[in-house]
Amino acid sequence: MVTVEADLVCVESRLAAGLIRCPACSQGVLGGWGFARSRRVVGLAGAVRPRRARCRSCLVTHVLLPVTVLLRRAYAAEQIWMSLLVRAAGVGHRRIAARLNIPATTVRGWLRRAGRPIEAIRGWFLVVAVQTGIDVAIPDGRCCGWGDVVAAVEAAVAALGQRFGPVGLVGAVTPAQVMVAVTGGRLLAPDWPTMR
Sites of contact with Zn ion (CB under 5 A): 22, 24-25, 28, 55, 57-58
CB of 25 to Zn ion, least distance (A): 3
For residue 190, is the peptide bond before it cis, meaning its omega torsion is within 30 degrees of 0? no
CA–CA distance, 86 with 99 (Å, rounded to integer): 9
Of the two residues 29 and 74, which places its CB atom closer to Zn ion in the complex?
A: 29
Amino acid at 64: L
Of the two residues 22 and 173, which places its CB atom closer to Zn ion in the complex?
A: 22
Q: Order the strands of the 2-4 sheet from edge to edge.
A: 2-4, 61-66, 51-55, 30-35
Residue pair 153/180 in contact (Cβ under 8 Å)? The answer is no
Of the two residues 25 and 89, which places its CB atom closer to Zn ion in the complex?
A: 25
Of the two residues 28 and 117, which places its CB atom closer to Zn ion in the complex?
A: 28
Of the two residues 10 and 24, which places its CB atom closer to Zn ion in the complex?
A: 24
CB of 58 to Zn ion, least distance (A): 3
CB of 196 to Zn ion, least distance (A): 16
The burial class, CB within 10 Å (0-12 / 13-18 / 19+), for 21 is middle
CB of 22 to Zn ion, least distance (A): 3
Residue 107's closest CA among 123, 90, 84, 127?
84
CA–CA distance, 139 with 122 (Å, rounded to integer): 10
CB of 28 to Zn ion, least distance (A): 4
